[in-house]
Amino acid sequence: MSSILRRFEILFPLQFNDGRDIPSDLLADAVLEVVDRFGAVSYYDNLIKGRWIHKGTVYRDNNSKLAVDVGDTDENRQWMRDYKARWKDKLEQLELWLVSYEIDVE
Q: Residue 1 above 70 pLDDT?
A: no
pTM for the structure as a whole:
0.92
For residue 24, the enclosing domain spans 3-105
Task: Quote the number of domains for the chain.
Answer: 1
pLDDT, one tens digit per residue, over 64-90 is 999 999 999 999 999 999 999 999 999
Residue 105 binned pLDDT confidence (cut-offs 50, 70, 90) = confident
Q: What are the strands, taking DSSP E only, across 2-74?
A: 3-13, 42-54, 57-70
Query: Are 34 and 67 spatial neighbours (Cβ–Cβ below 8 Å)?
Result: no
Say what the pLDDT of residue 63 is: 97
How far apart (Å, rounded) are the C-alpha atoms in residues 40 and 37? Answer: 8
Q: What is the CATH number of the domain that holds 96?
A: 3.30.70.120
What average pLDDT is seen over the chain?
Answer: 95
Say what the pLDDT of residue 94 is: 93
CA distances from 68 to 22, 25, 94 (A): 22, 20, 23
Q: What are phi and psi of 54, to 5 degrees?
A: -135, 120
